[in-house]
Amino acid sequence: METNNQKEPSAAKSLNFIHEIIEDDIRNGKNESRVHTRFPPEPNGYLHIGHAKSICLNFGTALKYGGKCNLRFDDTNPVKEDVEYVDSIKEDVKWLGFEWSGKELYASDYFETIYEYAVILIKKGKAFVCDLPAEEMGKYRGTVNQGGIESPYRNRSVDENLDLFSRMRAGEFADGEKVLRAKIDMASPNMLMRDPILYRILHTDHHRTGNKWCIYPMYDFAHGQCDSIERITHSICTLEFEVHRPLYDWFIKEIGIYAPQQIEFARLNLTYTVMSKRKLLELVKGNYVNGWDDPRMPTICGLRRRGYTPESIRNFADTIGVARRDNIIDVSLLEFCLRDDLNKHASRVMGVLNPLKVVITNYPDGQTEEIDAVNNPEDETAGTRKVPFSKVLYIEQEDFNENPPPKYFRLSPGTEVRLRYAYFITCTGVLRDAVTGEITEVYCTYDPASKGGNSPDGRKVKSTIHWVSAQHAIKAEIRLYDRLFLSENPENATEVEDFKQNLNKDSLKISEGYIEPSVKNAEVLAKFQFERLGYFCVDKDSSAESLVFNRTVSLKDSWTKTNK
């Protein structure tokens, strides 16, 4: 049974540089030795594997040090955000096995307080209302190589600023007409410090506050303050926010509130994998995929449908570590983590994707027997199940080859193989379609003495293949998805067109296959081919927590190589 319970803090698991900082802080009694982190997504898209790294880091760190971790939605831009995203994010975090401290929180919960913080800054002469249109403001800001120049509105009186700001809130001005800016330093080499915008006018309904507000704080004027209000001790974020840190600290200091510490780490990059919310959104909106949870998507829900387990993703996050240098992780490591988990926990089932009929000529007509099959060879407690066996079976097309190349061990004319858990069979002939000449049936004889899969005479076979009984098996539409998104070039998963083309090619194949009848309640069945994993998952009701195992399709074996 899969559990969503949080794990105990993993004892003395490898430290990363963030843990070192935290341990120092604990040792020095900083923040009364509290540890309080937060995961702060903007609800403008679904979570992906990159977020999983951040989730595991933030929640995992809190767990490790007996602290707390908040889930806070950074909902300061109503034009992009939606409750659909809020709901999916909550679900995905829970599915990964984490529990946030108390109720989920929202930046919008603090809009009133943040407004008051702005007023404090105005009163201190540290903020002003600016009438420069966006385009002009861009020019005034200068470039990375050249300082900016001060806004002509920069020296408005405190009273005038106070008046204007309250009228902004009251809705007296149109979008873009005015903004509130901090008064810092237009000559700063850090562009972010050149009188950044604090509030903009947006006459847009917010998914939580409705039409209560028509001015909204910018990220920089909200994030640190939210951290402070929640008394977050360590505000862990990705490297691109590094240049924001001086501003983060400036606001905290000028407003005079509790100071959390922002710590940045390098975000996850995966080979062949597109990790941009914007691009993923484009694929969903353009119907290139069947929604955010399409198994080809690198989203958490896509991975879930693909058969990934929460445990495997947590292990992955743990294995890749945390550092400040740019990285690109080989997607095979992610797949290894899944395989590792599945090998221990997934129950196995037999099935065929592309059926080939096999008739056991010396097996009695109409007879059926129940074969005992092990559910998980690596876990005795998983028990066994009964699988029906009869005269007519289906095997995988690629498990038969009339003219076998060297080192092909599976069924071919004259060779003997084992039907897993059942009998040894030997191929005696084939039936061809009169017109096309294609093989439609394979004839075999079985050795009744080999029941269960072993011959009393100790005879060995080189291969074991999967099978289902034709009259008992569940016929199912089987969907083969390519693995995560993918560009031919491992590092070039950046061009939208590149992976759109990939998707259109053959990232999803549908075939009519058969699954053994022990798989109950199977409505939609899907096979997700994990490259080099060889598992297939059964997507029971397309909400799909389940995954069942299979047979092996090794893409690296010599047989495959020499035949491609």
Partner RNA sequence: UGUCCGAUGGUGUAAUGGUAACACAUCUGAUUUUGGUUCAGAGGAGUUCAGGUUCGAGCCCUGAUCGGACAACCA
Residues serving a catalytic function are: 42, 267, 277
Cα distance between residue 488 and residue 551, in whole Å: 27
Q: Which stretch binds RNA (CB under 7 A): 5-13, 93-101, 325-333, 521-529?
A: 325-333
Q: Does 240 bind RNA (CB under 7 A)?
A: yes
Which one of the spans 54-62, 253-261, 294-302, 528-536 is the region binding RNA (CB under 7 A)? 528-536
Q: Is 229 in the site for RNA (CB under 7 A)?
A: no
What's the min distance (Å) between Cβ of 525 and RNA?
A: 17
Residues 43-82 close enough to bind RNA by CB under 7 A: 74, 76-77, 80
Q: Is 559 in the site for RNA (CB under 7 A)?
A: yes
How far is Cα 393 from Cα 468, in angstroms, rounded to an integer? 6
Rounded to an integer, what distance in angstroms lies between the CA atom of residue 391 and that of residue 363?
6
| Nearer to RNA among residue 77 and residue 235 (C-beta) | 77
Task: Name the residue type at position 284.
Answer: V
User: Does 448 participate in binding RNA (rule CB under 7 A)?
Assistant: no
Task: Report the run of H or E that residue 500 belongs to, with start and end.
Answer: helix 496-506
What is the spatial distance between Cα 273 and Cα 491, in angstroms, rounded to a whole number?
Answer: 8
Question: Among 115, 153, 219, 258, which residue interacts with RNA (rule: CB under 7 A)?
Answer: 219
The distance from CA 272 to its chain's CA centroid, rounded to whole angstroms, is 14
Q: How far is the CB of 384 from RNA (least distance, A)?
A: 11
- CA dist 429 → 78, 105, 354, 359, 440 (Å): 69, 68, 20, 10, 11
Does 562 sit near RNA (CB under 7 A)? no
| Contact residue for RNA among 64, 234, 305, 348 (CB under 7 A) | 348
Binding characters for RNA, 532-551, by CB under 7 A (x = yes): xxx--------------xxx
Residues 19-38 touching RNA, rule: CB under 7 A, are 20
Residue 42 binding RNA, by CB under 7 A: yes
Over its C-alpha atoms, the chain yields an Rg (Å, rounded) of 30
For RNA, the binding residues in 454-483 under the rule CB under 7 A are 454, 463-465
Q: Residue 174: what residue type?
A: A
Q: What gap in Å lies between CA 128 and CA 71, rounded to an integer?
A: 32
Among 152-160, 291-299, 451-459, 502-510, the segment contacting RNA (CB under 7 A): 451-459
CB-wise, 84 or 175, nearer to RNA?
Answer: 175
Stretch that binds RNA, among 94-102, 195-203, 251-259, 494-502 (CB under 7 A): 195-203
Q: Out of 115, 153, 258, 336, name the contact with RNA by CB under 7 A.
A: 336
Token digits of residue 530: 């994990």
Say if residues 243 and 192 touch (Cβ distance below 8 Å): yes
SS3 of 295, please?
coil
Q: Which is nearer to RNA, 195 or 293 (CB)?
A: 195
Q: Which amino acid is at 333?
A: L
421 binds RNA (CB under 7 A): yes
Interaction with RNA in 354-393: which residues (CB under 7 A)? 377-378
Lookup: tokens for 393 = 């079976």
Q: Smallest distance, Å, CB 79 to RNA?
A: 7
Among 223, 296, 306, 540, binds RNA (CB under 7 A): 223
Strand partners, 468: 394
Question: 144 or 434: whose CB is closer to RNA?
Answer: 144
271 membership: H or E segment, kind and range: none
Q: Rounded to the nearest 5°, which phi and psi values hold at 447?
A: -105, 105
Which C-beta is closer to RNA: that of 240 or that of 523? 240
- Contact in structure between 376 and 392 (CB atoms under 8 Å): no
Q: Which stretch binds RNA (CB under 7 A): 25-33, 119-127, 205-213, 315-323?
A: 315-323
The residue range among 9-17, 26-34, 112-120, 475-483 that interacts with RNA, by the rule CB under 7 A, is 9-17
Residue placing its CB nearer to RNA in the complex, 523 or 557: 557
Q: Is 101 in the site for RNA (CB under 7 A)?
A: no
Contact call for residues 105 and 86 (beta carbons, < 8 A): no
Residue 467 has phi, psi (to 5 degrees) of -160, 165
Q: Are 528 and 481 in contact (CB under 8 A)?
A: yes
In 10 A of CB 8, how many CB atoms?
8
Cross-strand partners of 373: 385
Count the site residues for RNA by CB under 7 A.
Answer: 90
State the Cα–Cα distance between residues 373 and 305, nearest whole angstrom.
26
- Among positions 135-174, residues that touch RNA (CB under 7 A) are 137-138, 141, 143-145
Task: List the interface residues with RNA, window 283-312 (CB under 7 A).
Answer: none
